[in-house]
Amino acid sequence: MSLAGQNLTIGYSDRVVGRGLDVALEQGEVLALLGPNGGGKTTLLKTLLGILTPQAGEVTIGGRSLARISIGERARLIAYVPQAHVPTFAFTVETVVLMGRTAHGNLFSRPSAHDRMVAARMLEQFGIAQLASRPYTMISGGERQLVLLARALAQEPQFVVLDEPTASLDFGNQGKVMREIRALAGAGHGVLFTTHDPNHALRAADRAYLLRAGERIAEGAVGAVLTRELLEQLYRAPVEKLADPATGHTAFLPG
């Protein structure tokens, strides 16, 4: 199954953000979406999620038009991990993860024993079971990101879309979240994430999609696309490339 957008014109009712965008995500692979602020990353992400309707073109999942799929079925196919934020009410971590089961019940149903089991399994999987009864507002940013990942997986989706999953995390937690992203693809999910750090794309993604001012600069395997030249073109800023001859790994520094 693949999640794909063909010839998309994306934007809001009063403003077009990007035109002629093609993007495709297969199950089992990780795609990183990179680009400067205001370049259309979030708009493209929300269009692929079905939260925004494309003004032209079509988003398909498994060959079916996303627009024709009910909101509940969509939530069972694609999960969204927003940037970690503090919600209005101090729900417990378990309650937050249980919200991932919304689309598996009807409008009036309480969480079933199976729903609770799935939520508990996800808490276990991300190593946060001990936080289950803590208020979500009182845990650290890194823990919050893991809770949102657990909630997304509780939806039992085929695809997971993450909006800047490493923003506002400390160095250690950034690494942890990237390992989890790799593990998701290993388990057969298609993963799409946005990031401001090309190194995170190098670390966690198979392919990268470079978006500037609503236009695709390049798309392809991270090794081929994440080059000094293309990154300088993408951000209109000087970039320095570092290489570790021992491992063959590369990294980029801004400025």
Q: Which residues bind another protein (CB under 8 A)?
A: 12-13, 46, 49, 51, 71-72, 74-76, 78-80, 82, 85-92, 95, 99-100, 102-103, 105, 107-111, 133-135, 137-138, 155
State in angstroms the smallest separation of the CB of 13 from another protein. Answer: 6
Between residues 164 and 206, which has the closer beta carbon with respect to another protein? 164
What are the helix (H) ranges across the chain? 41-49, 71-77, 93-98, 113-125, 141-154, 171-186, 198-204, 222-225, 228-235
State the Cα–Cα distance between residues 86 and 143, nearest whole angstrom.
12
- Contact between 216 and 210 under an 8 Å Cβ cutoff? The reply is yes
The three-point CA angle 199-200-201 to 5° equals 90
Between residues 66 and 208, which has the closer beta carbon with respect to another protein? 66
Dihedral sign, Cα of residue 86, residue 87, residue 92, residue 95: negative
State in angstroms the smallest separation of the CB of 230 from another protein. Answer: 30
State in angstroms the smallest separation of the CB of 37 from another protein. Answer: 18
Run of H or E including 133: none
Between residues 24 and 132, which has the closer beta carbon with respect to another protein? 132
**Which of 163, 151, 225, 229 lies closest to 191 in space, CA to CA?**
163
Between residues 107 and 246, which has the closer beta carbon with respect to another protein? 107
State in angstroms the smallest separation of the CB of 78 from another protein. Answer: 8
Between residues 79 and 231, which has the closer beta carbon with respect to another protein? 79
State in angstroms the smallest separation of the CB of 177 from another protein. Answer: 18
